[in-house]
Amino acid sequence: MRIAGSDSVDIAELAGVAARTFPLACPPSVTRANIASFIDANLSEARFAEYLSDPRRLILTASNEDRIVGYAMLIRGVGDDPDVHRAVRIRPGVELSKIYVLPDKHGSGVSTALMDVALAAAADWGSGCVWLGVNQKNQRAQRFYKKCGFTVNGTRTLQLGSHTENDYIMVRQLGAA
């Protein structure tokens, strides 16, 4: 397995992996239509082209035999959401916006490798913390983030198509174990 930055990523393949993995993080109550709407708005090839050209973002990919098996995206800053501002008190902050791995690679160490590289990149940017939003019903992801040193610091809502979901905001201070 290889973890790399987004220098020469196949955008179509990356968008395909994103479309396959995003539904895994959604609770059963989220409709297929709302998932499809989110994917179209946020995980399309056009959106990934925008993300890759944004200097505030870094996309990391995990590859096995030259195929993308997972990815992570970091975004510098805390954004404009007042709930996030209340929960993320350490500045500067970096958002771990996405970290997804194909289901057949779950438990293989890919997620941990992506997380390690993402945390190192955020530290290299001079960030004091990394923060993320995770669906309150996604117990598997919450366990993984806790294992990686993140703690719940607040909540926010997320619009997923026509439905509103509830997220925990989790934060990990950098430079601390």
What residue segments make up the domains of the chain, in order of their start? 2-173
**Backbone torsion region of residue 107, taken as left when φ is above 0, otherwise alpha when ψ lies between -120 and 50, otherwise beta:** left
Q: What is the mean pLDDT of residues 45-63?
A: 96
Which has the higher per-residue pLDDT, 5 or 16?
16
pLDDT value of position 3:
78
The domain defined by 2-173 folds into: Aminopeptidase (3.40.630)
Q: Which two tokens stand for residue 59?
A: 């996309």
Q: What is the mean pLDDT of residues 125-150?
A: 96
Four-CA torsion 117, 123, 127, 131, nearest 10 degrees: 30
Q: Which residues contact 112 (CB under 8 A, 6 or more apart)?
A: 148
pLDDT value of position 168:
98
Three-state SS for 11?
A: helix
Q: What is the mean pLDDT of residues 96-118?
A: 95
> pTM for this structure?
0.94
pLDDT interval class at 163 (50, 70, 90):
confident
Q: What is the mean pLDDT of residues 2-17?
A: 86
